Structure 1
């Protein structure tokens, strides 16, 4: 009888430990932003896209055009239990270039500087409205052209 109580106690302790470990916050880091020492190696008004990319590294994304600006993005996301992931920090480093391809401006933004932008949103508008499957099926019955069924033109 004593062994059963010990095993039951171990089982309860293991379940409690597993349950508590599920409630630990996990952090994920995404992206890359160069540090200040690396950024000090590029000079506004002197360096070109090629030299900036060679010194700083490839950007996370660039402008829409072939000669667009460079953007470096870094995010830190916290996941806690069943809650939605929460963005703790997001930093954006924007390197702007003029028409000649020379570095013209270096700007840094954070979450406090703007709104959180949803990068993807997959919503499809249904053209069927509130029609059920049967209503859609029966609604097509009157749309059949008899000449197309028979094969006469």
Structure 2
């Protein structure tokens, strides 16, 4: 009987340790931003897109107009138990190119430089406000033209 209680005690202790391990803090990193040493090796006015690609790799995002800017974005998050992840750090590196394709400027931004951007939510109007399903079906009965569906005369 003493062996059974030891096994039950060991299983209970294992379950407690396993359940508490879910409460541990965990840090996650998403994306990539070059280090300051890598950025220091890029020479403004001399390096081109190709040499920047060799030094620090391809960008995460490129500029919208004529590929005039490359952006590298890295975010750091803290996960703790059941809580929503909290962003603890963000680094955005922008490398701007001139019309010849040479580096014109290098800028680095942190999470403290960020601003909340209100996204526009554009939703198409369905045109069925206040109309039920049966009203929609019955309302379309007279609008159906079987010849039009078969590629026939549209004017009937």
Bin for the TM-score computed over the shorter chain: 0.7 to 0.9
For this pair of structures, how many residues does the alignment match? 149
Q: State the alpha-carbon separation in 2 of the partners of residues 89 and 143 from structure 1.
A: 55
Give how far 1:55 is off: 2.2
Normalising by the residue count of structure 1, what TM-score does the alignment of the two structures yield? Answer: 0.77
Q: State the alpha-carbon separation in 2 of the partners of residues 147 and 62 from structure 1.
A: 48
**1:3-152 equivalence runs, <5 A:** 3-115=3-115, 127=126, 128-129=128-129, 135-145=132-142, 148=145
What is the SS of the residue equivalent to 1:45? coil
What is the SS of the residue equivalent to 2:145? helix
Give how far 1:140 is off: 2.3
Q: State the alpha-carbon separation in 2 of the partners of residues 71 and 111 from structure 1.
A: 15
Give how far 1:29 is off: 1.5
Contact 2:68–2:98 (CA under 8 A) maintained in structure 1: no
Query: Structure 2: which 5+ residue stretches go unaligned?
Result: none
Q: State the alpha-carbon separation in 1 of the partners of residues 56 and 143 from structure 2.
A: 69
Give how far 1:69 is off: 0.3
Query: Using a 3 Å threshold, how does the CA distance of structure 1 residues 13 and 43 change in structure 2: closer, same or farther?
Result: same
Q: State the alpha-carbon separation in 2 of the partners of residues 12 and 94 from structure 1.
A: 53
Query: Using a 3 Å threshold, how does the CA distance of structure 1 residues 123 and 88 change in structure 2: closer, same or farther?
Result: farther
Consecutive aligned runs of 4 or more in structure 1 exceeding 4 Å deviation = 116-119, 122-126, 128-131, 149-152
What is the root-mean-square deviation in Å for CA atoms of aligned residues? Answer: 3.2
Normalising by the residue count of structure 2, what TM-score does the alignment of the two structures yield? Answer: 0.76
Please list the CA deviations of residues 45-96 of structure 1 after superposition, one character each: whole Å capped at 9, or x if unmatched.
2222222222222112211134320111111122222221222111011111
Query: Structure 1: which 5+ residue stretches go unaligned?
Result: none
